[in-house]
Each structure stands twice: as C-alpha cells, then as structure tokens.
Amino acid sequence: MLVKAFLLTWVFLLSLEAAPAWRETKSFILKKDEMARIVIKSISPKLERVLFWRWTLYTDKKLVVHEKFDRVVGQHILDLDGHQAFRKRLLGAVKSEQDVPYALVVFKKFDDVNKTAQFDFFLIDRENRVEADYAIKEAKK
C-alpha cells in the first residue's frame, strides 16, 4: 500500500513538471462561419498580430476549421475521436524552443441542437513574452 501511494505521488509530481505552462485559457462557442478573433501583443519588440479561426462544416464527428495568423492561412480537420487541436507558434525562439510562446486551440464538443462548436484556447508562454486581447467573436464579412 505504501509503495503504491509513493508511486502515485511520484507520477503526479512528474506530471506537474512536464505539464505545459498554461498562462491563460478561454472558451469560445461559435456558430458556423462565426469568427473567433484574438489580438496577440508581443512585449518586445512591440508588435500586434491577430489570430482568427472559424468552422465551416461538421460531419461524422469531424469539424473543418479555417485559421489565419499573420496573413498565413490554414485549414484543419479536427476530430472528436482523434486529432482535436491545432497549434500556432506566436513568436520565434530566443534561447531555445522551450521558450517559444504558442496558442493551442482545442475542439471540445459540438452541440447538434444549437449547431455550435465549443473551443478552448490555451496560451502557453513560459517567458511572458506575449499578451492576448480577446475580441471574442465577429460575423464573417
């Protein structure tokens, strides 16, 4: 019993060290073609960039998501049974790849009644190099 408790404690402590440093998290519930917009502000150099994403199709537990960051567009197929997220690198490395701030957008669930998709946004930034300004949602233009 004592060995089991020790092993569980050891595994828990290891998982805390390996866990990403989520600095911020925010949930979004979007209808089709409704756009999430997050302004990413870097501390040094002073820079503002915008991350957009929206979904266009949901079928067979798969969601087609379009994203844009720094005029670079991408498309992802997120799956509730498998690949559920996309990651965006927000700035380049300074010392090592460990200090690169990034955003992680996770597809959590789809509401068939309201035809909405829920996303969780995570800001991972160990060095506090960026800030996020949540403009929440806007209709597609």
The domain limits of the chain are: 21-139
Q: What is the pLDDT of residues 33-46, one digit of tens each?
A: 999 999 999 987 78
Structure-block tokens of residue 95: 């010392």
Averaged over 48-65, what is the pLDDT?
A: 95
Residue 103's φ and ψ, nearest 5 degrees, are -110, 145
Residue 3's region, left for phi above 0, alpha for psi from -120 to 50, else beta, is: alpha
Q: What is the pLDDT of residues 77-128, one digit of tens each?
A: 999 988 899 999 998 877 767 778 999 999 999 999 999 999 999 999 988 8
Alpha-helical segments (H) within 1-141:
2-18
Q: Residue 10, exposed/middle/buried by CB under 10 A (0-12, 13-18, 19+)?
A: exposed
Label the pairing between strands 22-31 and 34-42.
unpaired
pTM for the structure as a whole? 0.78
